[in-house]
């Protein structure tokens, strides 16, 4: 190799130990890489430079992204685009080299490093053993390991230079390691068998499309944070990634942190196991028993019609109920007052959007910005004014109170949404016409009881209630009986207290229908079904569309995004953002 004395001197000055390697990356014959000290003569017939990792090079550690599957570049891109990884790279001069095989080396120094360790793998078929075996895609090189580095042919500096490698904090190192672990797609066969519930009803639950949402709801309730794209962070942790959902296998929760109790490190769990561990304290039998009742409720085998002779009917009670239900066409029933009006062009008239005495439902995939959309609706209704000249609150006098119920978000996120709505309401009306409540910590029965109490206490003044996370008022959103009971309760509240109740619920992964039997029941009974989705070619923009309307006119779809102040901004007719200062009209 040319200038080997200069190369040796440069690496030595940086505290990095190097040695000569052959073309196949192995040390040159006769050289013991982890014991011998390299001299210029040792590089006489060498192909390149090997770098000793670990303590021998001042705590040097490398995250090696292999290209065994031909997609190392896309893996590297996805890794670097993770917010946690971006943050670490933004404050550290971390070195990145490309390898002659199409892979990458992420190089840094740290205090607490380990030996070589596989971080994430994929199944790869072995013809020799006739079975799938794990093939590492992310692994570390630390104590007891080495890499090949520039100026070896085929090894190039992509970011920084190895002679200027930096030392990062233990926390930043952990963040990088955790991010690499989140790419794992391998589960040992013995663990795959353990994931099986061995409970017929548990298997039925795991095969139910709604089980993932129920498991995710249990995780959120336990303090886990959904980071998006299948990645999760454990409770009491502000940075980094601790687990994945649906990445090692469909519908499988994979925990790779040692602090994810009750989950074990590097272990996978089915939705049944997640819910049983979190909501039932690990009592799998108790959860299975509840599921058995859910899927096979113990109801009378005979219908009410065939069994009517065996039941004594209270004639006076039934007459009273039928009298109340009778529709007397000689007495005109006034059209229900509007709660909200909408228009999509200044040249058009305002049209009724939501009315008192009815319910509506907002659906959308996770992260579609459903809550941002309803923030605009909340603010317009509570302020009795128009926002972006698109929504206008028209609640009748004495019915101007707007209540928002949050069942899903953390204290901080719930506060952020409440504050956002408040900031969109004129100052003189804040506090008087809007109130928000966080019911995340309570169980479904307690939440219903608390909402019912709110209606009893403030019902005569409530014009609109928004329930963000209506599924959390049910024990399960995929039980037909439970769904019917909850929707009937919503209809009862809206009629008795003459208000509008807007409900937010997720959509199924595979289609645009609201999740489970609850979603189906809501869509059937709502006067307005609205979907919020991300624009296909621009995920920063959300689309609001009218899926169904009953008793009111359909509205034209429109787009919105979030501005630098974290506020929802409706896109103008020509695709130009309305200025934030023009939010009130």
Residue 194: predicted pLDDT: 52
What is the pLDDT, as a whole number, of residue 307?
A: 46
What is the pTM (predicted TM-score) of this model? 0.51
Domain ranges for the chain, please list them: 4-181, 189-295, 338-582
What pLDDT is stored for residue 190 in this prediction?
55
pLDDT of residue 575: 36
pLDDT of residue 511: 60
pLDDT score at 576: 36
**Stretch (H or E) spanning 5:** helix 4-13
**Residues 231 and 246: beta-carbon distance below 8 Å:** no
Alpha-carbon separation of residue 340 from 383, 426, 507, 561 (angstroms) = 11, 17, 24, 21
Collect the ranges in the chain with pLDDT lower than 70.
1-2, 189-199, 209, 296-314, 321, 324, 333, 344-347, 429-431, 477, 509-513, 572-585
- Architecture of the CATH domain 338-582: 3-Layer(aba) Sandwich (3.40)
Distance CA 394, CA 583 (A): 17
Task: Tell me how far apart the alpha carbons of residues 505 and 365 are, in angstroms, rounded to a whole number.
Answer: 9
> What is the rounded CA–CA span in Å between residue 469 and residue 87?
31
Which of 94, 95, 96, 100 has its CA nearest to residue 152? 100
Distances (CA, A) of 11 to 16, 39, 105, 379, 544: 5, 13, 17, 62, 58
| Strands annotated E in 365-520 | 386-387, 391-393, 401-406, 434-438, 462-468, 500-506
Task: Please state, in angstroms and rounded to a whole number, the distance separating the CA atoms of residues 12 and 19.
Answer: 11
- Please give the pLDDT value at position 429: 67
Domain 4-181: which CATH class?
A: alpha beta
Q: For every residue of 80-137, which 3-state class applies, written as one string?
A: HHCHHHHHHHHCCCCEEEECCCCCEEEEEECCCCCECEEEEEEEEEECCCCEEEEEEE
């Amino acid at each position: 190799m040319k200038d080997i004395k200069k190369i040796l001197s440069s690496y030595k000055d940086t505290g990095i130990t190097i040695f000569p390697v052959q073309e196949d990356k192995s040390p040159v014959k006769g050289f013991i890489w982890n014991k011998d000290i390299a001299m210029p003569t040792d590089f006489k017939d060498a192909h390149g430079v090997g770098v000793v990792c670990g303590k021998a090079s001042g705590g040097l550690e490398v995250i090696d992204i292999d290209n065994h599957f031909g997609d190392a570049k896309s893996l590297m891109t996805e890794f670097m685009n993770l917010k946690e990884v971006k943050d670490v790279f933004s404050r550290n001069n971390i070195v990145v080299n490309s390898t002659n095989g199409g892979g990458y080396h992420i190089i840094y120094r740290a205090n607490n490093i380990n030996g070589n360790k596989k971080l994430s793998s994929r199944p790869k078929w072995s013809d020799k053993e006739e079975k799938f075996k794990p093939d590492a895609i992310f692994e570390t090189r630390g104590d007891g390991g080495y890499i090949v580095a520039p100026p070896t042919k085929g090894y190039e500096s992509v970011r920084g230079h190895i002679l200027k490698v930096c030392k990062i904090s233990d926390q930043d190192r952990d963040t990088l390691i955790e991010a690499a672990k989140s790419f794992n797609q391998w589960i040992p066969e013995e663990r795959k068998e353990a994931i099986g519930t061995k409970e017929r009803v548990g298997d039925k639950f795991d095969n139910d499309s709604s089980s993932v949402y129920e498991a995710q709801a249990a995780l959120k309730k336990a303090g886990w944070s959904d980071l998006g794209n299948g990645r999760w962070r454990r409770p009491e942790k502000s940075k980094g990634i601790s687990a994945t959902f649906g990445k090692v296998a469909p519908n499988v929760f994979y925990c790779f942190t040692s602090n994810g109790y009750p989950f074990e490190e590097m272990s996978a769990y089915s939705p049944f196991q997640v819910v049983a561990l979190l909501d039932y304290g690990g009592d799998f039998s108790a959860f299975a028993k509840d599921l058995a009742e859910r899927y096979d409720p113990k109801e009378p085998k005979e219908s009410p019609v065939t069994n009517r002779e065996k039941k004594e009917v209270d004639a006076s009670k039934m007459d009273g109920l039928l009298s109340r239900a009778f529709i007397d066409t000689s007495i005109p029933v006034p059209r229900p007052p509007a709660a909200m009006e909408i228009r999509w062009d200044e040249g058009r008239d305002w049209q009724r959007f939501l009315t008192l005495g009815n319910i509506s439902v907002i659906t959308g995939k996770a992260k579609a910005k459903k809550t941002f959309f309803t923030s605009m609706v909340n603010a317009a209704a509570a302020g009795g004014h128009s926002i972006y000249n698109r929504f206008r609150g028209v609640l009748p006098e004495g019915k101007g109170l707007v209540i928002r119920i949050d069942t899903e978000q953390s204290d901080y996120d719930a506060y952020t949404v409440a504050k956002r709505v408040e900031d969109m309401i004129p100052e003189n009306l804040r506090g008087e016409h809007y109130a928000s409540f966080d019911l995340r910590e309570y169980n479904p029965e307690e939440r219903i009881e608390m909402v019912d109490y709110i209606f009893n206490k403030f019902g005569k003044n409530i014009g609109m209630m928004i329930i963000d996370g209506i599924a959390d008022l049910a024990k399960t959103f995929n039980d037909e009986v439970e769904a019917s009971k909850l929707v009937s309760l919503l209809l009862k509240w809206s009629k008795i207290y003459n208000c509008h109740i807007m409900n937010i619920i997720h959509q199924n992964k595979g289609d645009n229908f609201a999740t489970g039997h609850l979603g189906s029941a809501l869509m059937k009974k709502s006067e307005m079904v609205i979907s919020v989705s991300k624009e296909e070619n621009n995920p920063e923009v959300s689309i609001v569309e009218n899926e169904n309307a009953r008793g009111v006119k359909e509205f034209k779809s429109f787009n919105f995004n979030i501005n630098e102040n974290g506020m929802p901004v409706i896109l103008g007719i020509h695709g130009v953002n309305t200025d934030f200062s023009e939010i009130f009209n």
